[in-house]
Structure 1
Amino acid sequence: MSSGLPLEHSVAGVLKRLGLGMHVEYAYLRRNEHGQDIKFSIDLRAIHRDEEQGLLLSLLIECKYCARGTQWVFVPDESEAPFNEMRRSYFSGTDLYATNSVSTLTTMNQYNQDVTVLRGLQIAEHGNVSPGTVAEAIAQLRYASLEQSLEWTGYHLTTAKLFGPGTLRIPGASVCIVVTTADLCVLKPHTTLEAFEDAQTLEDVTTPQPFVFLEAPPDASFVRHAARRIREELGEPQLREQGLVDHLDTLNAASAATSLNDFILNHSRLEPAVFLIVQYGHLEAVISKILSDAQALAILDQEATRRINNRT
């Protein structure tokens, strides 16, 4: 059980029952402080392709098995208006060199503010505290999400090269998910230090939740890494090598993102910024809700797509 394999296998079973295509382990390279590329991976990637809406949806999933009695405790986001109205979506979109646009700005408005959190830590049954457990899972997903965006963008370029710049290239949206067997709980708002000191159990100062949205914007290290990786994969020398430089003006005119620079700024400074953390027992319901959101929110931004078509 402590290996995590039974949990990964069970999560994969839930995804298959919901009709999602499965990839066990999604590997990528990440450069360390010594300039060496080290192989990392996340546990699962599930794919849902919606031809009717023209969307490729990917679920990037990291599984964290915890012994019974373990709790993940989160600090709530107690921001008040107008700051709580500026929350980012838990969908992260990749539009570069796609012919349609993804609009994911209003997703979190559908959810109660109680499930929006800013940071968390793990408390084991006997009181051992592990502040890094949640952060490590988030970091693995963040770097994997960037590599997936590069992968999708490369596919868009290949499609344009083979079939012409005007060929339909659908955008991708991804959701970064941590699935854990730990119980999730959020500190009660406005709890005082005296209340913590007087509490007999953790339940006195927390509220259980089946899932939470963890807001965790990229740090400076990731910003530098992302900018470097995007230029390595999509810079002019690489595009020239693929025979695409002469077609860039036409390609950009038919693309949802206006420039490579926009892509660098968005993905290195902003994406992904929201991570969905789910208690395993509630996974099927949460994944079903994600699939429902992908349809109900009209993720395709028709107005932006019309503007793109007018440019061509």
Structure 2
Amino acid sequence: MEKHWKDLLLKSGLPFEYEVKEKFSKMGCIVEDEYIYSKADENNMQKDFSYDLDVTYWNGCSVNLMVECKYKTMDTNWFFLPDSYSYLHDISPDDFFYIGDYFVNKRYTFSREQPDDKKFIGPLCGKGVEIYKDNFIEANIRKAINQLSYAFIEKVIQGIDEQLYIQTFFDTAFITLPIVITNAKLNIINENVTVKEIQNANNVEEVSKQCDFLVHRCKIGNDLKRHNEEKLRKYFNTNSEYAEKHILADSIDQLINALAEMPQMILIMNHDYAGNNYVKLFQYINSLIEEKHPDRSKQREPKSPYILEVEEQLKLILERKKI
């Protein structure tokens, strides 16, 4: 095999996906490869698409991380425009953390309040571009965002279905968290920077700041909104009678209108090989659960029948040894 086989294998992204998968496993997550979803293509024909890793984490509620991995050659930079946390857009920096508690008992719902002194995981950003050597590419970042955006509603519906029909999850909130993970350096351009300042800059650090996390504000186009509405109406058309009895919103239509405008935020994280950013991510997730619903963090995942059986057998063995 030729010498460049290593470069080709790395560029395929498979080793990077596996490394990301192992990082999540070490954080106590259940990780499934490649989540497949369907959407209409340019010819309006239903076609299968996918994102890389489907990750589930439990901390009193079910947290589902939709993970799109992007391996990049060393020294690749992603640059993003800064965006403000503005009341004009009715957004929050934590809006990548989508709380699905639409059909649970009211005492298990989450608060949407935001502490005034909140320290967020990363700055809000807008449009981005990838730069490597003498090339710049906009499509790679946009493709990653689109992969998660169009898959998002199926994961939300999956959580709704389990809330409605699986007794174990009647009072379980389902959190959906779309995230792009890349080994490219994440840079946010300084606010109010000028073209002249960039032309005169000696290095990247003079005009931008490197970040571990960025919160990307999505622009919901008509195609994505239509895609979301079709998926939601198809589901509720066959489940409306039961859903209407349990919904906490004013109506199914109100819920559909709200969900059709999502996701408005997607988290972007730099993959560090030591795994420190994964620790930061889960510390932040746990803090959000504690902040928005303190009682949730006190709950623990119920033991499986297998674990209960093993514990019972161990108990019997210990009792025999005493005789």
TM-score by length of 1: 0.81
**Relative contact order (alpha carbons < 8 A, sep ≥ 6): 1 or 2 greater?**
1
- Determine the structure 2 residue equivalent to 1:127: 134
Residue number in structure 2 paired with 1:23: 32
Q: How does 1:29-48 map to 2 (within 5 A)?
A: 29-48=38-57
Partner letter of residue 10 of structure 1?
E
**Larger CA deviation: 128-137 vs 253-262:** 253-262
Distance 1:26 1:173 in 2: 17
Flag the 1:130–1:107 CA change in 2: closer, same or farther, 3 A.
farther
- Contact 2:122 2:215 (C-alpha < 8 Å) held by counterparts: no
Does 2:95 align with 1:87?
no
Residue 196 of structure 2 aligns to a residue whose secondary structure is helix
User: What is the Cα deviation at residue 292 of structure 1?
Assistant: 2.1
Is the contact made by 1:91 and 1:104 (CA closer than 8 Å) also made in structure 2? Answer: no
Quick one: which amino acid aligns to residue 40 of structure 1?
Answer: F
Alpha-carbon distance in structure 1 between the residues aligned to 2:293 and 2:249: 15
Question: Alignment identity in percent?
Answer: 21
TM-score, structure 2 normalization: 0.79
Q: Could you tell me which residue of structure 1 aligns to residue 260 of structure 2?
A: 268
| Matched residue SS, 2:64 | strand
Residue matched to 1:69: 75
Q: Quick one: structure 1 residues 159 and 34, their matched pair in 2 at CA, closer, same or farther if it must change by over 3 Å?
A: same
- Greater displacement, 206-215 / 168-177: 168-177
**Aligned AA (2:104):** A
Does 222-231 or 196-205 show the bigger shift? 196-205
The corresponding residue for 1:170 is: 172
Shift of 1:38: 0.9
Instruction: Answer whether contact 1:184 1:211 (CA < 8 A) is retained.
Output: yes
Q: Aligned pair in 2 of structure 1 residues 279, 147: CA closer, same or farther (>3 Å)?
A: same
CA change 1:21–1:34 in 2 (3 A) is: same
Query: Within the alignment, does 1:115 sit opposite 2:123 as a pair?
Result: yes
In our comparison, the structure showing a higher alpha carbon Rg is: 2
One-letter amino acid of the structure 2 residue matched with residue 205 of structure 1:
V
Matches of 1:71 and 1:188 in 2, distance apart? Answer: 15
What is the letter of the counterpart of residue 276 of structure 1? L
* 1:78-126, Cα deviation, whole Å (9 max, x unpaired): 46x65488425221122333334233453897335972111211001x1
- From 107, 119, 137, the equivalent of 2:144 is 137
The answer to whether structure 1 residue 197 and structure 2 residue 199 are counterparts is yes
Match of 2:236 in 1: 234
After superposition, the Cα gap between the structure-2 partners of 1:112 and 1:15, relative to the gap in structure 1 and judged at 3 Å, is: closer
User: What is the CA–CA distance in structure 2 between the aligned matches of 1:157 and 1:75, rounded to whole Å?
Assistant: 41
Change (3 A) 1:286 1:133: farther
Letter in 1 for 2:23: V
Equivalent residues of 1:103, 1:301 under 8 A apart: no
Matches within 5 A, 1:183-222: 183-222=185-224
Stretches of structure 1 that go unaligned for 5 or more consecutive residues are 303-312
Change (3 A) 1:39 1:104: farther
Q: Matched residue pairs, number?
A: 281
Gaps of 5+ in 2: 1-9, 297-323
